[in-house]
Amino acid sequence: MNKIFQFLKSDIPTNDESSFRRAIIVKSALLVISLFLLFFIFFNFFITHREDIASLNLLSFSIFMLLYIYFNKTQNIKIVARLTTIFLIIFLLLFIYYAHSDHFSLIWTFFLPIYAIFANGKKEGLYFSLLFYLILFAMTFLAIGNWENGEWTSINWIRFSLSSSLILFTVYLNESAYEQYEKKLYLARKNEQKLIQKLSDLSLTDPLTQLYNRRYYDNIIDKMIANAKRENKCIHFFILDIDFFKNYNDYYGHEKGDQALISIARIVKENIQRESDFVFRLGGEEFAGIMISHDKESTQEWIKQLCFKVEDLKLEHKKSHCSEYTTVSIGISSKCVDEVFSAKDLYLEADKALYEAKLQGRNQTKVAS
């Protein structure tokens, strides 16, 4: 059985479970129908000597084999499912008409709604089945007293109609339940993916400021350097530190300190926002950013503007020794493609420049020489 299943699923895309299920049904149905028809071609021709039915079987066998070949080439499940259902309806109606319900030939009609609904979906499959039974019930009603050598009665017609309707109703309910289950499963997986993405984001972002964290910086810095070299651009790394932030926390409290961190993080993010730019909270009151550009000087000037923009927030800081408002000091390291350097070199140079900015009075930016 496993080998049969492996054969049936070969060349069928498996990224969509619903389509995969329908493809297996369509492919297996085409094979099974073709094998049955092949058997009945010989049976009706050599055993029962019903050349009319044997010819119908041969024509139908050819059509279903062509559909099987077309399906293997195109993997067009929707079109093949519809065509197979239509030809199956035509074949069964012709077969029943010629067989006159002899030898339990009507039993084959029970398979139509099963295939139609499973292969086309509950809604479209129901339409096909209702159309089929509408014609079939009319045909069998008109045949009362004529089929089965005159033994096809109104009671037989009622039994057949009720049993067919019951099968259609059961198959429809089954597919409805399956589609509801599939929908719930899809929603559960979607929510699971959102949760996984949220957990992933949390592992790479700072929960307070929503900036990337130190872990993401460690992951991306080498890639950013490689990108800058590949694009023949300069890479700029800066470290931004809030001046006298410990004093701020001690005087105003940690809640106010968190609000200050959020406000400054917002200013940094709003001004360093190109797709190729990244900003981070490295820890405590220390932030960092990476920028890639062709123009070293203009990018450095852009980073320097952060000092003025933070002070323009006018966050009162009575315990600062350099301003009445909260300020920042920044150290910048810029490297171009023709220079030999590493992520460690960038960090150490920016950190050294930051230290010089602090020594020279803070609330300023220094560029590593």
Q: Which residues of the chain have pLDDT under 50?
A: 4-5, 7-8, 14
Whether residues 37 and 139 share a domain: the answer is yes
Six-digit token string for 82 = 């519809």
Whether residues 21 and 55 share a domain: the answer is yes
Cα separation values, 132 from 244, 332, 350, Å: 83, 77, 78
CA distance 143 to 137: 10
Following DSSP, what letter does each residue of 126-190 receive, concatenated? HHHHHHHHHHHHHHHHHTTTTTGGGT--HHHHHHHHHHHHHHHHHHHHHHHHHHHHHHHHHHHHH
Q: 200 lies in a domain? A: no
Domain stop point among 127, 156, 191? 191
Whether residues 225 and 88 share a domain: the answer is no
Whether residues 35 and 136 share a domain: the answer is yes
3-class secondary structure, 308: helix
Token pair 């996984």: residue: 196
Whether residues 49 and 182 share a domain: the answer is yes
Of 202, 208, 194, 224, nearest to 289 by C-alpha is 224
Residues 6 or more apart whose CB falls under 8 angstroms from that of 120 comprise 81, 82, 85, 128
> Contact, 363 vs 329, CB < 8 A?
yes
Of 230, 234, 229, 228, nearest to 335 by C-alpha is 234
What pLDDT, on the 0 to 100 scale, is given for residue 4?
Answer: 47
Q: 203 lies in a domain? A: no
Q: 197 lies in a domain? A: no
How many distinct structural domains can be found in the chain? Answer: 2
Whether residues 120 and 235 share a domain: the answer is no
Whether residues 64 and 184 share a domain: the answer is yes
Q: Residue 293: which domain range?
A: 212-367
Whether residues 144 and 291 share a domain: the answer is no
Condensed to tens digits (0 to 9), the pLDDT of residues 204-239 reads 888 899 999 998 999 899 999 998 988 899 999 999
What pLDDT, on the 0 to 100 scale, is given for residue 258?
Answer: 95
Residues 6 or more apart whose CB falls under 8 angstroms from that of 204 comprise 212, 213, 215, 216, 219
Residues 6 or more apart whose CB falls under 8 angstroms from that of 348 comprise none
Q: 330 lies in a domain? A: yes
> Contact, 235 vs 335, CB < 8 A?
yes
Q: 128 lies in a domain? A: yes
